[in-house]
Structure 1
Amino acid sequence: MTETLSGRAPADDVTAAREHLWMHFAPQPQDNEDLPLIVRGEGAHIYDAAGRRYLDGLAGLFVVQAGHGRRELAQVMAAQASELAFFPIWSYANRPAAELAERLASLAPGNLNRVFFTNSGSEAVESAWKLAKQYFRLTGRPGKHKVISRMTAYHGTTQGALSITGVPELKQDFEPLVPSAHKTVNTNIYRAPVHGDDPEAFGRWAADQIELAILAEGEDSVAAVFLEPVQNSGGCFPPPLGYFQRVRQICDKYDVLLVSDEVICAFGRLGTYFGADKFGYEPDIITCAKGLTSCYAPMGAMIASGKLFEPFASGRNIFKHGYTFGGHPVAAAVALANLDIFERDGLNQHVLANEAAFRGTLEKLNDLALVGDVRGDGYFYGIELVKDKATKETFTPEESQRILKGFLSRRLFENGLYCRADDRGDPVIQLSPPLTIGQSEFDEIEQILRHTLTEAEELL
């Protein structure tokens, strides 16, 4: 038996995970439960310790845009770590971080040209709220500190980002949270309370609810509105035509910052570098992470407009915020190489050329009794499951737990598809595959979903 450097014999990996690894957003596996151990990825597929192969229908966690096993990215990381593994950007700069900031500024829409690096999406959202507060304080409006976000929306796990999040069950164990975060309606037209047959009118109505929320809180107290281009939690809610243009008008009217939370939607997920480009609006801040490095290294960013940087430009004022690992040279180097792959392989163009085929393949599932709605954009889709297609009746919490967590999550994986069966809001299956896949993988996803959902119908 081999020994570790500490002199102790290595434990079986699954046993080690059971006894020492604290799982994220999941119950701790018990001794009688299977615990998959993923050991390798290649392209659009992952492999477990037993050699079983699965189609990665979620790109890890909405992140592995360029696909698994890109050795060129690993080589870039090794080369950078050999040259400069780390140095903080607290009063100093490193070459990869500077080059990446310049590149992101060139890709971002409009006048978004200042890049503040973080380690994650939650930290990027946290940074955006803090910047909004300090910006208004420095410009003579310290009362503007509140934020508006949407019901069911997920914006992160840190105390500020969790406060902006609109999923009550994720928040209740950690209350009291940061005050001043308020919620308004989302763009789920499938369950629209009004204008369900007129997407443009529904979008106008949904945007106008943001104005009502600003007025209800007091326009002199609201600093920012946080919106995802396509809302993730709840099952992929795209914006109706004209929605973001109306939101931009409202934010301008009341001098409120528009924050486009693109932790999922940026870097090709919708076929553009940023979701704001896809839907034709210019935010004041973009928050991003995940696909920036295709998650070969942790990295996030807040990209702010020149206007927001003005109070800091002279050096008299400091944004009193930062992270040890922000702008990490190895992460920045791999992000630059990842963006090179985007350009060389045409990943955005590939998504735009194939998004209609992906949607069409998934819409074949509409003939199943469980499938109520197929919605999304680009390579980002949600399939809402219903108890009754005619009435759109959803499942009880107990039924949802039994069908989604008790059956579909496990069974889809057993049948060769890794994706997410999600009950934050109405029950959905979420799909966000690597941006490299095409029709053969679309067909594989549809066939596995069809087979597994047909099995699930027998549980009703």
Structure 2
Amino acid sequence: MNYRHMETQAWQVLDRAHYLHPFTDHASLRQAGSRVAVRGEGVYVWDTEGDRIIDGLSGLGCVNIGYGRPELVKAAADQMQALSFCQSFFNTTHPSAVLLAEKLSQILPEGLNHVFFQSSGSEANETAVRAVRRYWDLAGKPERRVIIAREAAYHGSTHMAASLSGIPPMYGAGGDIPLPSVTHIKTAYQYRNGPGMDPEEFGILAASWLEERILEIGPDKVAAFFAEPAQSAGGALCPPMSYWPEIQRICKKYDILLVVDEVVCGFGRTGKWFGSFYYGIQPDIMQLGKGITSGYLPLSACILSDRVADLLIEEGGEWAHGFTYSGHPSCCAVALENIRIMEEENIVENAEKELIPYFRAKLETFVGHPLIGDVRSVGLMGGLEIVKNRVTREAYPYEAKIGYHCSGEALKRGLAFRANGDTMSLMPPLIITRQELDTVFEIAREALDATAVAFGVA
């Protein structure tokens, strides 16, 4: 479709009149107007103004193999022609869902063999909570109700998923959030929670906060610990390698289910197929999304370990939970083709070998920038934390919105550069080249320099 330059304002009028955006101040949006994206190819997105934006965010950490892959379009179209919809209720199945469930069980950590499909990460986390609750009821321990999650975590926007998320501004969106059965502990955010410590010692300390909370609540009342391998929404909060082994030891000690949210880290973000491989995690339950289809169609999955699934299947009777679009044929077909492409083109392995060391080295060049207090990354997920005072680590007041200013400076120069609070985040597609990374970091530096000038920082 051909979009003319003169159409932008008309699109913005319609947008502000009818379309409510997620996580948006709509009063401000009405003043500024939306950027209207119309086309994507590779790592680039074009808008109605004809401007080309290099997507430093993979959409929202999901477009892992880039935009415009005709194979995924064909997979969706072929499936729609053959079978456009199939419900999975009433003892009914279809090949795409069965084959995808089988494929996932082959590439996931050992023991994760039972797959339940949804359409979003929020729904996958809701399903995980339902499975945790049902498991302990069937195990004869219904008093195990409390779920422990972490500050600054993001697990979704539905009622329970927002409660799991450790982001207080989300709690004002309505609905008695967080729910009383959810409690949060500090996360492995060394720049704020353990400055000056040896990283390995800090990892042990950060894990100990879980044990402290378990003992405070009472081990017989704790059902599960929910966590991402590394946290994206908090601004690339990457735990030391000592953290996860200690977390697993604690969960095993108190027989608490370990629920690992891989919605962002899954499908190559860390340089391994799953963040659980990178950190050596063996989950009881795992949630997937985003990169499962590279964002081409909405699909998520909640994977149950044999320990959990066997009890639900053998003792649980009817699993009274599900969605109209659970295992949607076209979404599953696209996911299968996406995984095939990633395997055939060695996309994850190439990212680990060729891109991630280069990405990390480029990030490190920002150490010493007058605005940057901390530089951190895991795989192709990095964060540059803006601070007011690099010595005291003092942050800018929320009202300054310096991160948003920097994001705007980057966007007008042609880079999608996300502000997670005052941490500038990058999560480029796994198919980005070194030359394209050069462009990403060149614009990022220009944006930070311009922001420093605007805020009077030498």
Q: Which TM-score applies when normalising by structure 1?
A: 0.94
Correspondence for 1:446: 441
Correspondence for 1:275: 275
Whether the 8 Å contact between 1:148 and 1:226 is mirrored in structure 2 is yes
Match of 1:26 among 24, 27, 33: 24
Q: Percent sequence identity over matched residues? A: 37
Correspondence for 2:6: none
Whether the 8 Å contact between 1:266 and 1:275 is mirrored in structure 2 is yes
Aligned residues: 443
Deviation at 1:313, TM superposition (A): 2.6
Name the CA distance, whole Å, in 2 between partners of 1:440 and 1:121.
32
Whether the 8 Å contact between 1:121 and 1:263 is mirrored in structure 2 is yes
Correspondence for 1:355: 356
CA deviation string 1:153-188 (max 9, x = no partner): 111101111111111111133241322101111111
Correspondence for 1:413: 411
Correspondence for 1:6: none
Q: Which runs of 5+ in 1 are unaligned?
A: 1-10
Deviation at 1:31, TM superposition (A): 5.2
Q: Is 1:190 the counterpart of 2:191 in the alignment?
A: yes
Paired letter, 2:227: L
Correspondence for 1:320: 320
Name the CA distance, whole Å, in 2 between partners of 1:318 and 1:271.
39
Whether the 8 Å contact between 2:386 and 2:403 is mirrored in structure 1 is no
Correspondence for 2:262: 262
Whether the 8 Å contact between 1:311 and 1:317 is mirrored in structure 2 is no
Name the CA distance, whole Å, in 2 between partners of 1:362 and 1:438.
15
Whether the 8 Å contact between 1:146 and 1:222 is mirrored in structure 2 is yes
Q: Which moved more, 1:332-341 or 1:447-456?
A: 447-456
Describe how 1:191-206 pairs up with structure 2 within 5 A.
Answer: 191-193=192-194, 196-206=196-206
CA distance 1:285–1:344, shift in 2 (3 Å) = same
Name the CA distance, whole Å, in 2 between partners of 1:108 and 1:334.
18
Name the CA distance, whole Å, in 2 between partners of 1:155 and 1:68.
25
CA distance 1:183–1:30, shift in 2 (3 Å) = closer
Q: 4+ runs of 1 displaced by more than 6 Å?
A: none
DSSP-derived class of the 1:366 partner: coil
Whether the 8 Å contact between 1:365 and 1:371 is mirrored in structure 2 is yes
Correspondence for 2:424: 429
Name the CA distance, whole Å, in 2 between partners of 1:48 and 1:319.
45
Deviation at 1:112, TM superposition (A): 0.7
Describe how 1:379-418 pairs up with structure 2 within 5 A.
Answer: 379-399=380-400, 401=401, 403-405=402-404, 407-418=405-416
Paired letter, 2:87: P
Paired letter, 2:365: K
DSSP-derived class of the 1:224 partner: strand
CA deviation string 1:119-171 (max 9, x = no partner): 10011111111100100001100011110011111111011111111111111
CA distance 1:30–1:255, shift in 2 (3 Å) = closer
Paired letter, 2:43: A
CA deviation string 1:252-293 (max 9, x = no partner): 111100011111000011112210001112011111100000
Correspondence for 1:4: none
Q: Which TM-score applies when normalising by structure 2?
A: 0.94
Whether the 8 Å contact between 1:271 and 1:347 is mirrored in structure 2 is no
Deviation at 1:30, TM superposition (A): 5.0
Name the CA distance, whole Å, in 2 between partners of 1:419 and 1:79.
35
DSSP-derived class of the 1:314 partner: helix
Correspondence for 2:34: 35
Correspondence for 1:142: 142
DSSP-derived class of the 1:80 partner: helix
CA deviation string 1:415-454 (max 9, x = no partner): 100121121xxx1011111100121122111110111111
Name the CA distance, whole Å, in 2 between partners of 1:148 and 1:31.
39
CA deviation string 1:200-227 (max 9, x = no partner): 1111111111011111111111111011
CA deviation string 1:390-426 (max 9, x = no partner): 2211111122x2x222x22222111100121121xxx
DSSP-derived class of the 1:387 partner: coil
Name the CA distance, whole Å, in 2 between partners of 1:314 and 1:128.
18
